[in-house]
Structure formats: C-alpha cells, structure tokens
Amino acid sequence: MTSFRGLLAYLVTPLTPDDVPHLDALGHLVHDAVHEGVDGLVVLASSGAGVTFDAAERGAVVHAAVTAAAATTGAAARRVPVHVAVGGTSTREVVARARAARDGGADGLVLAPFSYLPLVEDEVVAIFDAVADAVDLPVCYYNRSVQTSYDVTPTTLAHLARTTTVTAVKDPASLPSRPGGRVAALRSAVDGLGVSVGLSGDPSLVTDAEAADAWHTGLAGLVPREYVALRRARVDGDVPDPDTAAWLRDLTGVLAGLRPVSGFHALANLLGTPTAPPRGPSLPVDDDGRRRLAEVVARRPA
C-alpha cells in the first residue's frame, strides 16, 4: 500500500507527431524521476492530460510507466510507486478507469471528482464509495476546488478516510479566498486515520507553502533533480541551495503565465524530451512563451 508521502511527480504524457502517446519518451521521464529520488509517480492526471486519452491509450501509458519504474533503481534503492489518475465525467467511467489502473499494476489512484455540472457533497461521497466497492487500492482525493466548484471540507475528508479507501488529499497550496492554517485544519480532522495531507501549486511550493506530508507537482516530473533537492532541504530544516531555489522560482514564474499543460510540453522539449503539443483544445505555447522558457532553461544550475 502506498502512502502518498514525500515528493510526487505528476508526469506529462509525451505525444508523437502522429498524436499518440510517446511511450519511449514517457519511459525516460520515469527513469529520470526515479533515479533522482522522487517518492512517487502519477500518470494521466491534469498535467498528463488523462481525460484526452481513450481506454487503450490509457492502458498503454500505465503499462509503460509501471514497467519503467520497476526497471529503475532510484536514489533510495527501492521501487517507486506509480499512481494513476482516474477522474471521469460519470461514476461508471471512474470505476472502469480505476479497475483498469488496478489491472495495469497501479499502486494507488488519484481522483478528482467532477461532472458536467458542479457536484454537491453527497454526490462526491458517492463517487468515492463506488470506487472503494470496486477496487481495493488507496486513493488520493485530488481537490480541484477552483475547477470543480466543490471544495472538500475537513469533516468530509475525515468521513471519506473512515468509510472508503481515501488515504490522502492533494490540496491547493494557495487560494485567494482561503485563510491560512488549511494544512493544520485537515490534519486535525484526520488525526489518527493515517491520511497524508499534501499540497500542490508550484509557485507556492517553491516559495512559502505550509509544511505538508507531500508535495504533488507536475514540474517535478520534468526537473526532478532540483525539486528533490528543494524538498529534502525543506523537510530537513536546511536552507535550500540559493541558485536552485532562485531558478525554480524563475521557472514557475514563466510557467504561471502559460497554459498549464501546454507550458509543460514546451518545457519538456527544451529539456530534451520529445513531445508534440498537447491535444486540443489546448493550444501550443506561442513563440514568445517558448523564448521566455528557453531563457530560464539556459540558466539551469549545473
């Protein structure tokens, strides 16, 4: 069973010029992330554009990631777990994806509950109930409150931890309308339940995010060396290397001005991972955005 703790790298899904998953390139991303010491991998989440792939493509991505992770020994000399995002627009689709992920060798599931219309609490709980009934894998609740118009409460998270297979939450590190102390509130609600409280949002993670059990980040899948070093320094109470910290701040600053998945694909190319732009409706990064990314990449610390 995976704990969803530490640094979790959310990988992009590289594409060939023919617009199909580039499995060799994905394997290299897995190898590099594991080799540099990340604690877990996630495929087919938002940075991996999972909702744009059909069942066969998703199965191929999961198989490639699981195989590459099993074949790579990281800095900790242990097998790094592979988690699969299984969000979908219907409970039936979510359950089918959860079962396929289990059959493909996934160690855990990441689930952002969403639908065409905003969900209410009872509907959200019912989705996690259905997954727990169908698949015996630990689940990380992916709280995409801005996109889904539903923000999980500490009370609901505790209920899910007691009644379903939810063992973790991925929560936004910073929201304009949310007061401080969110991590403490979530931890208090799930005290004694073994739930990992993790944060996402690169601009906050590389600057002033609250201490948390996990960092969930797409950028760590592309620059794992720098992110692992930053995370370890923060956990150990050390001062991060100033050059690395400054470079990550500059990189997240540029990415914040680009479309999220498109920016990651452009960055992947600049870092040597071949990929076409993400599938539409996402549009490729324009020339100015690529130039600004290239300027930061050229200053990457040795």
Domain ranges of the chain: 6-236
Residue 52's pLDDT is what? 95
Point out the residues that are catalytic: 142, 170
Domain 6-236 = CATH 3.10.150.10: no
- pTM beyond cutoff 0.85: yes
Contacts of 270 (CB under 8 A, 6+ apart): 290, 293, 294, 297
Say if residue 285 is exposed, middle or buried (CB neighbours under 10 Å; 0-12, 13-18, 19+).
Answer: buried
Residue 1's pLDDT is what? 44
Residue 2's pLDDT is what? 59
Q: What is the mean pLDDT of each run of 10 residues along the chain (302 residues)?
A: 86 97 98 95 96 97 96 74 96 98 98 91 97 98 89 96 97 81 94 95 91 96 97 93 96 95 98 96 96 98 90
